Structure 1
Amino acid sequence: MIQLLIVDDEQIERDGMKAILHTSFPSLVIHEARNGSDAIDVAKQIKPDLILMDIKMPGINGLNALVQIKEERPDTKFIMVTAYDTFDYMRQAIKLGASDYLLKPSKANDIVETVGKALKEIVYEKKERATTEHQQAVLQKTKAVMETDLVTQLLFEHVHEVSSKILVDILDIDTGCEIFVMNIRTPNSSNRYSVVKETMRRTGTCLVGALSSNQVPVIVFRNSKISFRSQAISLARELLSIREKHEEGWFIGIGNVYPSLSDVRRSYQESLVAMETFSTLKYQFYSKDLVGEETIEVRVKKIKEDISDQIKLGQWGTVRNAVISLIPFFEYHGILPVQGQQRILEILWVASRVLQDLGVESETPIFAYQPTDYRQLRTETGKLLEQMKAKYEDYYQRLEADNVEQIRQYIMEHSHEEISLETLGNKIGLSPIYISKLFKEKLGINYIDFLTRCRIEKAKKLMQDPSRSIKEIAIEVGYHEPNYFSKVFKKNVHVSPKEYQNSILGKEK
């Protein structure tokens, strides 16, 4: 829909022009303004494509109004309307950006011809702009894919159809600029990836890599106006600011600065080492102290020793971090991916035996293929750990369901007795704290409320016998104080025990 604005201080002129245009161009959306000041306000609201502007008007004249509207709406076309004795104004209007003019009084045919010509130009330009905008959007998407591809080739030595040298040229990247790598780990990273990309590109010149194993590598080009640490900390804080409240799992490893893009893999390896360390700041710079003199044998042995207790406690996040942390350690020490795979398998086999000892059915972990790079090794290791975690959680969910049912049955059968959590724990063989937690998580009710519910339901059934007194029923379901029983019953059923019994007996009669 094309928006057209008619500006004239004479109502009769506006009405006449509007009638002619409606007849010839019924799809036009036509607005009116009675002077230049009014035209400026209306133009801000409707964003007109074409304005028919009278030149001589009280207050702000047509020429001044044209200038002000053009500042905000440079694409808006103007057809100036002038009398014969103001033709000099028209020459000035053309210089100011008017595309055509009409002389007062104008014939209907002249108006239609002049406006029709402007409308054709507007339609053509809109199509051209739409095509250009579409092409720009496609180009931006293509560049984003190229950028991700380039980071993959630089960091993992992949060889793709379009080489990294060609991509560098297309993206117009200065290969001699100082760089460093930030590796970002996020929870629910598939939902966070686009936010991370947008944040990094907004805060400075960088190349954002693909999401892999909950991590996003970013090659950052140095800003020579500030120090390396200041730049990295500023970026890290900007990234961490997008976290949702209480969201855990974010961490950023930061590699050292290197003189050019050709050294990027070294900085990336360092960022991985930094990522696998602990820091209360949620980010960590690489330093040689993080690697230390610890040998691979010592590190693998320590993980094997710790993994049993970690699995028994359900600390799968700790298990995953410990195992995955070996991969940058291998890479830093020049261990081949296939050799690293064998060392990780040793640990996963220990984990599998721990699961079997717990009663969890777990197959011996096997990698689907030999990795050709550390990225593949990280991805496949993560998959195997997730499979083991899923087996563990499924087993304990079923075990908890069995425990909940066993506890429910026991309470229902013994609700008339004095049952404390400690007594129940001793009978079932579970801790009181665990039982309380199970009730809340699995049944959505606490232990005392469930016991009360069981006693009330049993009392309702006993009230169907007219020979039973309320006092007898109270004692039989576990309440030694009839008054207290009446209070609890009314709170849960909203009538007194006697009123409930009378209603039941009354219905039976």
Structure 2
Amino acid sequence: MKVLIVDDEQVERETMQAILGRNFVQIELKQAPNGRVAAEMAEEFQPDVVLMDIQMPGMNGFEAIEKMNTKNRHIKFIMVTAYATFDYAHSAMKLGVVDYIVKPSKVKNIVETVGKVLKQVEDEKKEMSKKRYNEDTVMSLFETDIVTQLLFDHVHEVHIDQLVRLLDIKITQESFVMTLLVPLGSEVDYPSIREKVRRTEGALIGALSGRQIPIIVFRKQDQKFQRQASSLVREILSLAQPPDSQWFIGIGNVYRSLEQIRQSYQESLIATKDTTLSQSYCYYSEVREELPSLDDKKVKQQEEQIFRLIHDGKWEELHAEMSNLLIGSEKDGSSLLRTQQRLTEFVWIISQILNDMGVELDSYLYTFTATDFRQLRSETNYLLQRIEHAYKAHSLNLEGDTIQRIKQYVIRHADQDISLQTISKEVGLSPIYISKIFKEHLGINYINFLTECRIEKAKKLMRDPEKSMKEITFEVGYHDPNYFSKVFKKMCQISPTEYRKKLLTI
């Protein structure tokens, strides 16, 4: 706590400092001989409390308070005066003075008055700290959900540009994706990684899903792409514990719109295919010659088809799809290399869908270039069998009706700041897969379902006339009554106040 004593009489200042110094050990004290000096000192010293004498030559106490208020609205002023008149009190109230001490005053009265104001400052700081922590937590959940929507095609009804701006991120026309891959079982200090990413002032970090953390980076126009990427890579890898824990980062290409960002994400994953390189990162541009060219529209179509087959457990049809692709390529006279590239793309899509479901795969790419179609067929069948085995082993670990468990969890915790990541930890599935099955089974995303749960609970609480609308707002999980009112009106086509009035008159 910082306290500034302002008085034109040195004896008064020294006496006040002695009293406060003896009774409040955890405060920093400074003195100012007049209002002008006090106003100048306040900018650098940033006092929490100012004991301001009123009758001073030159700039009096009221004038000094008015000047200090323009730049330091947080300061609590205690008026010190020998004249406790109504006019003085009225002027002090207009300027926001919180208390006063009448000269001369007993030590006990001074200590009580200053102690009360210091307690008020302390309480406000704690409340502000709590508010900032809550805001940071909510924004972190919000950020990971936005990354999920951008990279996995589950876009919220609000335009993505607006969502990004809500996070106060410096966006540019160009962006790319980096994917951090960590070894299974290794320790990951996610908050520290998030802090490193945030300091770049132009990046969004996704949730840790399995072994991966995706990071969307917005291009800095005054810096070369590789320089910007390598700088962030070094910052992130410096957090690896122990330092030789084999963290690896794949870096996708730069694209000019957020709609294309999934392409860069796919590329960043492919760039992690060989984590044994001497350096702990790889650009997609360094490996793209030996890997398939990903057509975004084609990939989306294949994802939908493959997701449906995996979701329905039709692994025989998946094997048939792979086999037909291989047979067709051989009949068409496609080169062996090109055929293996197409199969690699197919297997890669399957592996990413399973990764979204929370299925861990140690490897999903061909480990060599086939010398003939027979060898390629054999290796393809082996890869797909391993993937199928991993999926079935994971499915056996899932208990009960997953959708029902998710629904019940959201309903029970609708008043809390829950996100896809929160639900993920509860049911043991990746956030992306949860988002997909939510849309598949319920026809809406989890955000809309959460909103519906909150609104239904609000309607029930409105039946109690003793509860204020502000109390109801907090009880259903919102922090701002105005925002709650907007959401309610959007969902119900009527304001909460109007709804409650109709409800209570029935």
Larger radius of gyration: 1
Q: RCO (CA 8 Å, sep 6+): is it higher in 1 or 2?
A: 2
TM superposition score normalised by structure 1? 0.47
> Normalising by structure 2, what TM-score?
0.47
